[in-house]
Amino acid sequence: MFRLIGFLIGSIASGVVILLLIGMPNFELTDSQTDQRRFDEAIEKLKAKQSEFETVAGKLSEDVARVARTVEQGESGGDAMARQDNVDPETPGDAAEIDSIVPAGPPTPIQPADQMKWFSFWNPFRSEIAANGFVSQLESVTGLDYRVVKVKTGVYEVAFPYRDEEERRSRIRQISTATGLNLSES
């Protein structure tokens, strides 16, 4: 009983001391116009962030579509060459078509899939989501192409393509330099 009385007296005394030091709080709204203005500013900031997010999302979807078109064009490279052979360069209306079909710059030789080798250079991940996150970060930093390979359930490896041993070593050095990761050469 004495403990309860002591607790109540101590609580009331500390409350009084706090009110004396800080002062009595004002529970009324001082200015409703100021509060409304602050609320409107917060709403405008949220709308600006939302439009910024939509802009970034739109650019991202455009980039994904552009990459998908590039990949499709790379896979159907023979179709573009066949269309180029059917165009008559002497016809005046076809000159624009030739410019749009012929790629700018020297053609890059495409290695057949059987000549490309994939090198797994990092410890396996337990989740595909984690492996894909690692790949996206590496691609943004190094600019190289990577692939997530599912070894078995719960084991996902990250690999990059290479043609010969020199290219493999070069890519390992490039990844190490760009990321600061200590990758073994073997």
Q: Which domains does the chain have, with CATH numbers?
A: 34-103 (no CATH), 112-186 (3.30.70.1070)
pLDDT, one tens digit for every residue, the chain (186 residues): 899 999 999 999 999 999 889 888 776 666 777 778 888 888 898 888 888 888 877 777 777 778 878 877 766 655 444 444 444 444 444 444 434 444 444 444 444 545 788 888 888 889 989 989 988 888 888 888 888 988 888 899 988 888 888 888 888 888 888 888 777 665
Say how far apart CA 27 and CA 80 lie, in whole Å: 75
Residue that the structure tokens 């990577």 belong to: 146
Would you say 151 and 122 are in contact if contact means Cβ atoms under 8 Å apart? no
Q: Locate 11 and state its tokens.
A: 């609580």
Model confidence, pTM: 0.37
